[in-house]
Amino acid sequence: MITSIQSLLRNNERFVEEQLQLDPGYFANLSEGQHPAFLWIGCSDSRVPPDRITGTQPGDMFVHRNIANLVVQTDMNLLSVLQYAVEVLEVEHVIVCGHYGCGGVKAAMGEAKHGLIDNWLRVLKDTQQYFWKELMTLNEHARFDRMVELNVIEQVYNLGKTSIVQEAWKRGVRPWIHGWVFDLSTGFIHPQTGMINNDAAIQEVCKFHTGVVGA
């Protein structure tokens, strides 16, 4: 594990050297602009680096991360990223990716107080309450995993219902939206939703959301 700040700068020099060896025009090309096909909405967790786990390179993916990969309709930061990605960059896919073992989800499932962050995580308590009938039948470990999955589906639903995505779909423009869960213990990504690019498809998620499937 790297702990010294100097190591980061040394690694950066090595990165530049290696890239230039592979392609002398690499940084010149990179500085010309970006045309990413993907927007990634993921957790801030240090163990879930989107580029590493998907094999993407600089320029491939526009990224927004927050604790527990939440899509909150009043979050100006997320909405700005989403609007820019969908309307200006015209990304084809928006991925919400959670992960098993998420500290944010775990904190929301417990009773301990953590300060300001509890406000951010409050919506997860609503999800837990909403799906309690299903969750209560599971043991502690399975319940935690299931909450991570339900949270991703919930956030996909929230994403599909933003005015930005709704307007894009109305214009017949992508994005496809996807809900994934990353498994830290195996390294594999598990899709939780199909590919969604219209209101009917989001209603399928909504069916889940309203407890028809989850109940």
Give yes or no: 43 in active site: yes
Identified catalytic residue from 47, 51, 52, 118: 47
Give yes or no: 23 in active site: no
How many CB atoms lie under 10 A from the CB of residue 61? 20
Nearer to Zn ion, 39 or 148 (CB): 148
R_g of the chain, CA atoms, integer Å: 19
Q: From the CB of 42, what's the least distance to Zn ion, in Å?
A: 8
Burial 88-116 (b: 16+ CB within 10 A, else e): ebebebbbbbbbbbbbbbbbbbeeeeeee
> Where does this chain bind Zn ion (CB under 5 A)?
43, 45, 102, 104
Nearer to Zn ion, 32 or 140 (CB): 140
Nearer to Zn ion, 107 or 135 (CB): 107
Pairing of strands 176-182, 189-191: antiparallel
Give yes or no: 45 in active site: yes
Q: From the CB of 3, what's the least distance to Zn ion, in Å?
A: 21
Identified catalytic residue from 64, 93, 99, 209: 99
Closest CA to 85 of 108, 119, 61, 58: 61
* Cβ atoms 205, 160 nearer than 8 A: yes
Give yes or no: 174 in active site: no
Give yes or no: 126 in active site: no
Q: Which residues are catalytic?
A: 43, 45, 47, 99, 102
